[in-house]
Structure 1
């Protein structure tokens, strides 16, 4: 990497990281205010609320990354222009498309970070946050590293994950008597939650008697449970919180059971396209950067950047709802806002070059 490219990328990167920290902190403050009403329910304390908000921060960072890149890049470009460094770059033999390549290096690095956040850190931390909150409020649920534990009268239940359609995966149940001796162990790859009962599919149970252990396999089995949809709704993995690979697996599961998949297809395509939006925001910041900073109003530019970021976010949401309402292909709903903003940025950069 050339020295000039490294310098510009580092300036843009530092400003964007600071913008991200500020936005995530602001978002976290409002999240904490929103949790104030839950403090005192069960064992949900102020410390639990702080922990919940901290666990949600990777998901907030993933959501705010394009806006942070746009705002940070606008600020960094503005400072470069105000210090006349941008004019020096322009007059040192670097043409507009050379600068675009620098911006693509910067945007590509943040796009990779966004993809990693969306695929691993954000879904896992959000799941733990929801499980922690449900455990503290109800007293029945305990969050584990790879699932949740539920304590009921006479049984202990383990669930690997709670799906958006009230489905459960990786269910294991241990039933014991008044003397706390194990009476039955049940496992089921999947289950569905009803009111006052769970429907276990392909269950395998081992009933323990003084004489022997009896194994029973059932295609369907009803299990009475006091943990219903209301409690498990707080633990559901929402489409926006699922990783790209998990969404793909879940879509195939829905197709196998002949269920609607449009909402999850839109989320899958959004996950795929979202890192590219970071690069587009970096290009938009370049498009709104003047060569000289003498007449640039930094406050106005930052306000405009926030408005652009919000416009991009709400346009994506609008196209997502349109796809579900009118049957627009999911890839069109996901690609169109990003492609439109990318074309807009390139047109503005081209006009800037002609000046």
Structure 2
């Protein structure tokens, strides 16, 4: 069995590596051409070498997105080629039963699951963060829309609505407005700061601060305005939370996204979209297992008529439809308030059942 696994694993790994490198080279070229438009902007600060490094830092994100489809294409090609050359028929007569073939491919699929999880949860978020900071350092600050990002937080008998306009090249919020409300929801103050330094002590160090405080005595109200160079504002809002509010939630790690969901829930904000993204992060690496199961039935087809290309193309279309359905279910689940785990896991379950049914039918037929 070691020889058998060495043969199949070696063929699949080489094919998957070739497909992955081809896709990454294609995406690298497109990204680099797109970044050339920004070269020379901001008084020439953003140069060709910066564009090259930025595009290079995008590679882990593309690797995370492309690994399952690369696994599908590479595995289908190997299984179809083994079937066409009758090598798989020889392996079957040598004792490679359906359950053993499925178990061997599932073991290889688990290795791809681990690789996808590591890339998507650790390597990709880190590289994306450095890439955004690099680009903002030479092209300006990171901002979204005209109103920036909005976050909420509750502290004891008070609540806050925090508005961040941009992120600096160091990843700190700037253009900060903090609206303060009492326990009855009445506005009591406004803090404006040009910059906030995020510390590890659950606090922001606000710089160039202006504060408006409203005090009420009966029917009379008094507005007091003050300013200071620096003020410490205790908060549980982290840099990752600000980043996800300004950027995309799928760029976060699973643990960071889970903490952000808890923060939103504790402050009475909607979490449906982010919960779906969280469960997609959990289930997405498992799609590699779905892909190898989807590819295995191709080993039991006959390709003596020379139509191997059409079968491989059909398998590729099936894989692409899986990813399209995965995105569609996310939007539909968000609109219809489906259970987040179901919206994220349903496409994988449907395709796994279909793949196993096709595999079982081919085994029974032959």
Q: TM-score range by the shorter chain?
A: 0.7 to 0.9
User: CA–CA distance in 1 between the matches of 2:79 and 2:209?
Assistant: 59
CA-to-aligned-CA distance 1:72-128 (integer Å, 9 cap, x gap): 001111222232211111111211111001110111111110011111001110111
User: CA–CA distance in 2 between the matches of 1:29 and 1:234?
Assistant: 27
Number of equivalent positions: 295
Please list, as runs of the form range in 1=range in 2, the aligned pairs for 1:106-255 lying within 5 A after superposition. 106-138=108-140, 171-172=196-197, 189-190=203-204, 236-255=246-265
1:98 is aligned to 2:85: no
Deviates more, 1:333-342 or 1:5-14: 5-14
User: CA–CA distance in 2 between the matches of 1:35 and 1:106?
Assistant: 37
Please list, as runs of the form range in 1=range in 2, the aligned pairs for 1:27-38 lying within 5 A after superposition. 27-38=27-38
Tell me which of 320, 338, 347 is aligned to 1:337: 347
Please list, as runs of the form range in 1=range in 2, the aligned pairs for 1:49-68 lying within 5 A after superposition. 49-68=51-70
Q: CA deviation at 1:233?
A: 8.1
CA-to-aligned-CA distance 1:298-351 (integer Å, 9 cap, x gap): 332332233222211111111111111111111110010000000010000001
Q: TM-score, normalised by structure 2?
A: 0.72
Q: In structure 2, what is the equivalent of residue 150 of structure 1?
A: none
Taking a change above 3 Å as real, the CA distance of residues 62 and 90 of structure 1, as seen in their structure-2 partners, is same
Taking a change above 3 Å as real, the CA distance of residues 118 and 302 of structure 1, as seen in their structure-2 partners, is same
CA contact (8 A) 1:86 1:292 kept: no
Q: CA deviation at 1:198?
A: 9.8
Q: CA deviation at 1:246?
A: 0.7
CA-to-aligned-CA distance 1:196-241 (integer Å, 9 cap, x gap): 9999xxxxxxx99xxxxxx965569xxxxxxxxxxx9899442111
Please list, as runs of the form range in 1=range in 2, the aligned pairs for 1:261-340 lying within 5 A after superposition. 261-340=271-350
- The SS at the match of 2:58 is helix
Q: In structure 1, what is the equivalent of residue 184 of structure 2?
A: none
Taking a change above 3 Å as real, the CA distance of residues 352 and 39 of structure 1, as seen in their structure-2 partners, is same
Give unmatched runs, 5+ long, in structure 1: 142-156, 174-184, 200-206, 209-214, 221-231
- The SS at the match of 1:172 is strand
Q: CA deviation at 1:53?
A: 1.0
User: CA–CA distance in 1 between the matches of 2:244 and 2:269?
Assistant: 23
CA contact (8 A) 2:300 2:363 kept: no
- The SS at the match of 2:284 is helix
Q: CA deviation at 1:295?
A: 2.9
CA contact (8 A) 1:287 1:349 kept: yes
Q: In structure 2, what is the equivalent of residue 20 of structure 1?
A: 20
Give unmatched runs, 5+ long, in structure 2: 143-167, 179-194, 212-227, 236-241
User: CA–CA distance in 2 between the matches of 1:198 and 1:119?
Assistant: 39
Taking a change above 3 Å as real, the CA distance of residues 45 and 198 of structure 1, as seen in their structure-2 partners, is farther
Q: CA RMSD in A?
A: 3.2
Q: CA deviation at 1:11?
A: 1.2
CA-to-aligned-CA distance 1:225-271 (integer Å, 9 cap, x gap): xxxxxxx9899442111111111111111111111111110010001
Q: TM-score, normalised by structure 1?
A: 0.75
Taking a change above 3 Å as real, the CA distance of residues 294 and 198 of structure 1, as seen in their structure-2 partners, is farther
User: CA–CA distance in 1 between the matches of 2:56 and 2:245?
Assistant: 17
Structure 1 runs of 4+ aligned residues shifted over 4 Å read 157-162, 196-199, 215-220, 232-235
User: CA–CA distance in 2 between the matches of 1:236 and 1:288?
Assistant: 44
CA contact (8 A) 2:83 2:302 kept: yes
